[in-house]
Structure 1
């Protein structure tokens, strides 16, 4: 297992700068943000040009990783593969294919994305449609020796009423994904607020985890008593603010990292454990984000065997 982080938390820095910082601070791998250049959506970045992966870009990216002794664990492009607008959906699928081709060229084993959801259709209708649209993507990836990994994020901000916007949030849905040929990018934080024990949930599925993310979560039961499980309704000015929980860097929340990492090892997981930094306390500036990554490193480094 290697300890790394997702580069999207530092959108204004170059991949060279991030790699040098990662090496200096004891990280071993990078999950590289590969969104297309597309404005200011939160928690996205572009650290490689997946759609322009010619020989020069391949040499640049591989050279950065080699100079700093890092592996590239995954290319990250988390978007809605079931977007209700056909034109937007086609653009998403086209970029997923670019990321797959880029990963194959770079020797990166996985590409991360979301299943997504069309909020105008039922869950069963979405799942049937997802089976149709993902099979060609899975075949394209398999032919190039790449695995598509789906993060189990709820993406509640994608749904107009805060319901799940990414149909991959529970073990029930993981089993459906695996039948389609998809793999899991396991993130325990999302399970905690759903009331699912992440350690018990993940144990039977470790053989289908091709990548893992380390993000923590802090819940506030008194606020849940006010808002209920579905979170703020009248007062939700930010689609992502449920009101009774927030993400934290590992070590500042409620995930039992000692037991979780032990279960991953016990199950034979030998991929990357990649910090996904979305902590609002340690965010907002480059210095604070880097401090958050240092806190995560101090928490996880003793648990991940070099």
Structure 2
């Protein structure tokens, strides 16, 4: 197992700067963000120009990672592949294919994204639509020796009422999406706040957990007494991502049992990357604070990784 981090937390830095910092602070891998540019969420970043990526860029990128003895574990483009607007959905589909092409050129085995959801339609119709949309993408990736990995994030901010906006948040849905040829970028933080014990999900699904993210979550049960599990309902417009009773933290500052999780991953033979996904509001807002957060995550996780 190798410890890495998702570069999206440092949108202000270019990839050479991130790679130099990571190697100098005992990180072993990078999950590289490849959004087309700064988007609507502050953790979107463009660290490789996948839409125009060619052999020259591939050679330079491989050289950068060799120089710093880092592994490029996956490319990250987490967008809504079932977006209700046809034009936006086509833009996402096209960019995802660019990411897959870039992964192929670099010999990177995984490209991460979301199943997503059309929030104007019920779940059953979304499942049927995903069964139409994803086989072509999976085939496209497979022809290039790339696997599409799905993070099990709820993406509640995509739904106007704070309900799941990404149909891959539970083991029930994982089993459904595995039949489409998709794999997991497994993140225990999301499981924790929706009431699923992440440790108990490792053994049944280890064959499909090919990449993992390390993000913590801090629960505030007293606030849940006001809002209930689904968060604020009267006014969600100020911040649709604020559920009122929990927030993401860097590993070690929340409720996730990292010792138990890493032990269970080792027990069942996981040898992939554990990639810190830094979305901690306390340790965010500037590169200096973000890197301090990454150092906290490193101090928490590195002693547990052999």
User: Where does residue 105 of structure 1 map in the other structure?
Assistant: 105
Q: Deviations over 1:18-61 (max 9, x none)?
A: 00000000000000000012545321000001111112211121
User: Where does residue 283 of structure 2 map in the other structure?
Assistant: 282
Q: Any idea what SS the aligned residue of 1:301 has? A: helix
List gaps (5 residues or longer) in structure 2: none
* Equivalences for residues 238-253 of structure 1 within 5 A: 238-253=239-254
User: Where does residue 67 of structure 2 map in the other structure?
Assistant: 67
* Equivalences for residues 259-274 of structure 1 within 5 A: 259-274=260-275
User: Where does residue 200 of structure 2 map in the other structure?
Assistant: 200
Q: Distance in 2 between matches of 1:39 and 1:174?
A: 27
User: Where does residue 302 of structure 1 map in the other structure?
Assistant: 303
> Aligned residues, how many?
305
* CA RMSD, 1 decimal: 0.9
2:53 is aligned with 1:44: no
Q: Is the 8 A contact 2:214 2:277 kept in 1?
A: yes
Report deviation, 1:99: 0.6
* Equivalences for residues 57-206 of structure 1 within 5 A: 57-206=57-206
User: Where does residue 18 of structure 1 map in the other structure?
Assistant: 18
Q: TM-score, normalised by structure 2?
A: 0.98
List gaps (5 residues or longer) in structure 1: none
Q: Distance in 2 between matches of 1:65 and 1:98?
A: 21
Misfit runs of 4+, over 6 Å = none
User: Where does residue 6 of structure 1 map in the other structure?
Assistant: 6
Q: Distance in 2 between matches of 1:177 and 1:261?
A: 25
Report deviation, 1:235: 4.2
Q: Any idea what SS the aligned residue of 1:180 has? A: coil
